[in-house]
Amino acid sequence: MTRLPSVGDVGHAFEFPIELGKVREFARATKAGHPSYVCLNGGPLVIPPTFLTSAAWWIPADGGVLNVLADDWSRLLHGGQRYVFHGSPPSSGDRLVATQRIRDVTERTGRRAGRMTFIDWSTDFVDGEGVLRAEELHLTILTERPPGGSATAGDLRARPDLGSSGHGPTLEELVDNRVSMTDIVRYQGASGDLNPIHHDHELAKAAGHRSAFSVGMLHAGILGSHVGTVFGPENVREFGVRFKEQVWPGDQLAYGGRVVDRQEVAGERLLTLDLEVRRSDGRVPLTGQARVVDAGS
């Protein structure tokens, strides 16, 4: 029987240096269009909104709170992820210390994957002075049996949808080329998510999927980088996504959203955006929400 993580489990703290080359690599993998990532001016680069995912490359062998689930990858679903920045996001040259912790573990029964365990966990990033710079909040779902190609976090109704039905100004859509295996593998190398189910078709089929499928965080990353391109990466204060369906090689996706709220928080005028990734057939595999500084205010 799989040993589950327990509330309060804490991983070993590890150093996470933010390297200029890694920021540029990640920006390219998530198709960031902000000119700072292309035309270097000699200064530091603010990270794309989902860059902290790449801390996976720095986690020591005994530092991850989900290590006990390492042999159960075929039963794991990624329910969602959220990033909270305390001030401007970190930049290249910063050296952070990261610590993972289990926040909550709950169980319920799903329609297709049997008993499910919902694991809420986080990674805190502090600077050399011990100041909390950012938080990465994760939802991982352990299913009783492999979900195969038909079940997703959205089908299992793990959490209510993010967003609302606001009617503010729309975010200009980014319509990407069809998802390719090159896109997927490039992102895996940049992020440190090397799960072979995303590039090994035979292994994915053995787990009940029709083929290898895309990394959800690739499309979360493209969505976040698009927000950073429009509003400036230094102005992102929060970015989160919820996964509803799998994305497959060959899918064509559009990334967009709209402003749904304006408010002042800690002296900053913030815009709240509801976001979505939409297939060419109209289905929505991913929804999200962001808060950005209204640089025009």
Residue 40 domain-assigned (yes or no): yes
Domain containing 209 — which CATH number? 3.10.129.10
**pLDDT for the residue 2:** 62
Tally the domains of the chain.
1
Contacts of 104 (CB under 8 A, 6+ apart): 7, 118, 119, 120
Contact present, 118 and 157 (Cβ < 8 Å): no
Please report the pLDDT score of residue 164 as a whole number: 40
The model scores a pTM over 0.85: yes
Residues 220-229: tens digit of each pLDDT:
999 999 999 9
The contacts found for 43-46 with CB under 8 angstroms, 24 or more apart, are 44/20, 44/91, 44/92, 44/93, 44/94, 45/20, 45/91, 45/92, 46/88, 46/89, 46/90, 46/91, 46/228, 46/233, 46/234
Q: Is residue 9 part of a domain?
A: no
The pLDDT, as a whole number, for residue 250 is 96
Find the helix or strand (DSSP H, E) in which 25 lies.
helix 20-29
Write the CB contacts of 113 (distance below 8 Å, at least 6 apart in sequence): 77, 143, 144, 145, 146, 147, 151, 156
| 27 assigned to some structural domain | yes
pLDDT per position in the chain (297 positions), as tens?
567 889 999 999 999 999 999 999 999 999 999 999 987 777 899 999 999 999 999 998 877 888 877 666 667 788 899 999 999 999 999 999 999 999 999 998 866 657 889 999 999 999 999 999 999 999 998 887 665 543 444 433 333 333 344 456 889 999 999 999 999 999 999 999 988 889 989 988 888 889 999 999 999 999 999 999 999 999 999 999 999 999 999 999 999 999 999 999 889 999 999 999 999 999 999 999 999 999 875
Which residues are 55's β-sheet partners? none
The Cα 21–Cα 48 span in angstroms is: 13
Tell me whether residue 2 is in a domain: no
Q: What is the pLDDT of residue 72?
A: 63
| Residue 39 maps to a domain | yes
pLDDT score recorded for residue 88: 97
Question: 256: domain range?
Answer: 14-293
- Please report which helix (H) or strand (E) contains residue 258, including its range: strand 253-265
pLDDT recorded at residue 109: 81
Secondary structure (3-state) at 20: helix
Strand partners, 15: 97
Side chain identity at residue 262, one-letter code: R
Residue 276 domain-assigned?
Answer: yes
CB atoms within 10 A of CB 67: 14
Which residues 6+ apart lie within 8 Å of 244 measured at CB? 152, 153, 154, 155, 284, 285, 286, 287
Query: Rounded to whole angstroms, what are the CA distances from 224 to 34, 67, 156, 235?
Result: 12, 27, 24, 12
Beta-carbon-side half-sphere exposure of residue 64 (alpha carbons within 13 Å): 13
Q: Determine, yes or no, domain membership for 4.
A: no
Q: Which two tokens stand for residue 296?
A: 């025009």
163 occurs within a structural domain = yes
